[in-house]
Amino acid sequence: MDLKLDHHSKDGIEIVDVEGEIDVYTAPRLRELLIDLVNNGFYQLVVNMEKVEFLDSTGLGVLVGGLKRVRAHDGSLDLVCTQERILKIFRITGLTKVFGIHDTVDEAITARKSEK
Amino acid sequence: MATVELSFTPLPAHVRTARLVAAAVARRSGVDESLLDEVRLAVGEACSRAVEELRLHCPTEPVRLALTEQAGRFEVEVTDTSMQASGNQGAPAFPPGFGIAVIAGLADDVQISETSAGTSIRMSWPSALPDGQLAP
C-alpha cells in the first residue's frame, strides 16, 4: 500500500487526509505537502491518520517538523487517530504529550476552536 | 544458517519489502500475532537506519537481513557495512539514534554492534514453535 494524500478546508482549518504507509520511502511526500500548506498560509492543520496502516520514526519526524513549522506562525497541528498500532509508537516516543490526538476530525476542530 | 536471508540495494523503496518478508517469516516461525506489528516496525526502523547510513557512506553495498528461528526465539539481524556509526540520518527532526531508541522500545532483546566494518542490529521475539520447526 502506497501513500495517498489529500487535503480540504473545514471551519477554517486545513484537514490533511493520509492513507497507507508512512515510512522512509513515502514520508518525504507528506513532508512536502505540509511545507506547501504552511508556505501557502495554512497554519491550522489537522492530520487525519485514521487510514494510516504503518508509521515509523521517519513519519514521526515529518509530523514533528510540521508542528515546528506551524508553531513558528502561532499555528497548530493536531492528529486524528484511534488505531492502537499507530498510537503505540506515539506513546513509546513520548509524543502523546506533544501532539493533540483526537478520535474524530470534528472533535479535533472543536478542541482547536475552544483553545482560541 | 538463517531461516531466510535477504539483501537489498540501499534504497528507501525496498524497506517495505524487508518489513513484509520479516513479518511473513515471523508468522511462520510462530511469533504471536499481537507481536507482528512490533516486528514489522522494528525491522523497518533497523533497515531505514541501514539504508540511510549506506546511502551516505557506501551506496554500492547492500543492506543484509537475516531471519532465524531457533530455540523458541525469532531472531532478526540487520547488517550494513557503511564503516560509519553516525546514527539515524533519516529523521532530521530527531537526534541521531532515534530509530534505534524506537527499536529498543519495541523488541525485548536488542544488541547493537558497531565496528569499523559497519553496524549490526540484532533483535529477537519469542516464538511458539520448537527449535527448527516451521508452521505449515
Average pLDDT for B90-100:
64
CATH of domain B4-126: 3.30.565.10
Q: Is the pLDDT of residue A112 over 60?
A: yes
CB contact under 8 A, A62 and B93: yes
- pLDDT number for residue B27: 95
Pick from B17-26, B59-68, B105-114: least confident:
B105-114
**What domains appear along chain A, each with residue ranges and CATH number?**
4-109 (3.30.750.24)
Chain A, window 37-96: residues with a beta carbon less than 8 angstroms from a chain B beta carbon: 54, 56-58, 60-62, 64-65, 68, 85, 88-89, 92-93
Q: Is the pLDDT of residue B91 over 50?
A: no
Q: Which of A47, A51, A54, A48 is nearest to A86 (CA)?
A: A54
> CB contacts < 8 Å between A and B, how many?
67
The residue ranges of DSSP E strands in A1-116, in sequence order, are 4-10, 13-22, 44-55, 76-80, 101-102
pTM reported for the whole predicted model: 0.87
Residue B64 makes CB contacts below 8 A (sequence gap 6+) with: B5, B6, B7, B77, B78, B79, B80
Taking the C-alpha atoms of residue B91 and residue A65, their distance in angstroms, rounded to an integer, is 9
